[in-house]
Amino acid sequence: MAEIILGAVMDVLFQKLASGDLMKLARSEGIHSQLHKWNNTLLQIQALLVDAANKHITDTAVDFWLPNDAKLQEKKGLDDLVMEWRDDFDNSWNHTSEYEVLEGLRPHYKLRQLEILFYGGMKFPSWVGNPSFDRLTELKLRGCRRCTRLPALGHLQSLKELSVESMDEVKTLGLEVFGPTDSFHGIVFPSLESLSFSHMKGWKRWSTRRGDNDGVARSFPRLGNVSIRDCPKLVEISIDLIPSLGVLHIQGCSKEVFKSMVGASALIRVLKIENIGGLAQLNGELLGAVEDLSIRRCDELRYLCESESCKLLVSLRELEITCCRKLVSLHELPSSLWVLGVYDCDNLESISDKGFGIIPLEHLRISNCKNLKSFPHEQLESLTSLEYLEISHCPSMDYSFPCGLWPPNLRRLTIGCLNKPMSKWGIQNYPTSLVHLTLWGQNSRVVSFVANAKAVTSTSFLLPPSLMRLSIYYFMELELVSEALQRLPCLKNLHIFSCPKLEDLRETNTTIPSSLRIMHQ
């Protein structure tokens, strides 16, 4: 709080420094004595501010002096204001004093952005949320842990972004957040586009349903982005439909919260869920409009959704699943899918019960799934749109993979750490479109790279001649690569990481093309 007042004092001082009076003073003989007086005054103000901070602003005289001197309400040019208290609440904190300080620090109504951080009062003064702040577009309330309720914010006509974080004593959000409903034709939060709640430890209930049945959106008519993160006690949500909701992020909440929010809009396009307790599978009937779906750390998730329900994901373009420890299978992949990524799912056994089918996949990435056995690699040739493929760190993979069947238009491949050692792969018939290859070499048993099929041995790996970029990691036995590099006319970049026995890339080796850029770590 001291920083706020000091800033206000300095603002006044700088105005004086730029005034005509100072120019006159500069030409007078009294400039040194006047500057000396200003210096003493500033030192006194600084001492008072430090003392106020040390007392947690508990002295009544200090409390009233600070807001009265700041006069923020007169700062017409102030667009962005951050009010921050010290984040060290204790039993000596004076809630009444805190309220009076914030009440006296009311800014000018033309303010556009406001942050109130670690405020120690139990309620907010009436100016927070007052409709007179009709230019306010962004509001953040964070760390106000003593407050038991939010201010009435529903009639901030221009408010577009609202963030509420770490308000531990708030247990219920109800219609009081809307404020009086007789303004703006009864429509509350008329301009709000983004709403975020996070780290609300005590929040249990969100109920703002008004029961209007005339088909008119009475609240949140423009709300497109909602984020609810780390609200572990929130179990009940009863809100009206949010007609414009397109982006939803739910993290660290119960499955009841997830189901309620998904049911709040039929137009959700981007859905991100993380650490949702008790969620075993999704309901495809509610996700028909979802285009981008990200699922992380949902430890109870066993299937993406029921087999028939997966067919209802008709709009899904991108699917990413990470660290879902109990995931067994994705069942049937949606036919609209462009991008699929599955990472760190230890119990995943199969990607799809029915293979890839006719799917316009462009990117397919599967990594660190240690129990994955079934992979429909025989169907890779049918994925004519696939340009990027990653299959790595899946040590239980079917030994027959890879078997020389690749997507015909593949441009980038990341592969390695599979069941079959890389030295046993032999000739793979990579497509001529492949220009970027990344190889993970743990347990590969590869001693040399070759670029001639006739030179393939039981300890070598055949590189495709079309490569422009090659990255190799953790080939612990690799010794020779320079001969292969001579037969890769398009290669421009070579990245080598942790290949301790590789010694034939010294600067004295004149067989290495001079145009090749090598990064060796």
Question: CA 353 to CA 377: how far, in whole Å?
Answer: 13
Backbone angles phi, psi at 68, to 5 degrees: -65, -35
The candidate with the shortest Cα–Cα distance to 465, out of 444, 439, 486, is 486
Q: Tally Cβ neighbours within 10 Å of residue 10.
A: 13
* Structure-block tokens of residue 68: 């009265």
Instruction: Specify the pLDDT at position 23.
Output: 44
pLDDT tens per residue across span 350-393: 888 777 777 899 999 999 999 998 888 888 999 999 999 999 99
Instruction: Specify the pLDDT at position 52.
Output: 52
| Kind plus residue range of the DSSP H or E element containing 259 | helix 255-262
Instruction: Specify the pLDDT at position 89.
Output: 60
Contact 156, 135 (CB under 8 A): no
Is there a cis peptide before residue 402, judged by omega within 30 degrees of 0?
A: yes
Question: CA 57 to CA 206: how far, in whole Å?
Answer: 34
Nearest-10 Cα torsion for 317, 320, 325, 329: 30
Question: CA 474 to CA 499: how far, in whole Å?
Answer: 5
Question: CA 81 to CA 216: how far, in whole Å?
Answer: 35
* Structure-block tokens of residue 164: 């509420």
Give the residues of the chain that fall short of pLDDT 70.
Answer: 1-70, 88-95, 181-185, 210-217, 506-510
To the nearest 10 degrees (0 to 180), the angle between helices 60-70 and 95-104 is 20
* Structure-block tokens of residue 128: 């927070």
Backbone angles phi, psi at 188, to 5 degrees: -105, 150
Q: Torsion-angle region of residue 56: left (phi > 0), alpha (psi -120 to 50) or beta?
A: left
> What are the distances in angstroms from CA 300 to CA 50, 172, 230, 280?
52, 28, 17, 5
| Kind plus residue range of the DSSP H or E element containing 485 | helix 482-485
Which residues face 414 on adjacent strands? 390, 438
pLDDT tens per residue across span 415-433: 999 999 999 998 899 999 9
- 480: DSSP letter: B
The candidate with the shortest Cα–Cα distance to 143, out of 81, 205, 82, 199, is 199
- 451: DSSP letter: S
Backbone angles phi, psi at 473, to 5 degrees: -130, 130
Instruction: Specify the pLDDT at position 407.
Output: 95
Question: CA 420 to CA 396: how far, in whole Å?
Answer: 9
Backbone angles phi, psi at 478, to 5 degrees: -65, 130
